[in-house]
Amino acid sequence: MLPSKKYLLVYSIVLSLLSIAVTIFINIEIAKEYLRADGKTRALFGFNELLQFGYQYYVAILGTISLILVLVSLRSDGKRGQKYGAIVLSIFAVVIVFARIWRIFI
């Protein structure tokens, strides 16, 4: 059974922030691995990234669950601004998983 709708918004925000933090941590590790690679490995680093860090795409599950929780809590009263903020945060948590932000860290 789901918790009351007033806590769903809090759970959604926490899951989104957790997803973003884990994604940033994984992308820092990818950037470190890229900097350690030589020329030939850097040319085909996309394959290396997929094989070594393919688990990073499972983090999108947290963002998706967060989005589902905030959509379920939409019907409760009040806190409309927080709900829209939570929706944006959860969508950002899902999108950032598939963006290659590790290139920012090099």
Q: Which residue has the tokens 């690679």?
A: 37
Cα R_g (the chain), whole angstroms: 17
**Amino acid (1-letter code) at residue 96:** I
At residue 91 the predicted structure's pLDDT band, cuts being 50, 70 and 90, is very high
Residue 7 token pair? 């806590």
What mean pLDDT is predicted for residues 37-49? 84
Residue 2 is given by DSSP the state: P
Arithmetic mean of pLDDT over the chain: 87
At residue 2 the predicted structure's pLDDT band, cuts being 50, 70 and 90, is low
What mean pLDDT is predicted for residues 66-82? 82
What mean pLDDT is predicted for residues 19-24? 95
| pLDDT, position 60 | 92
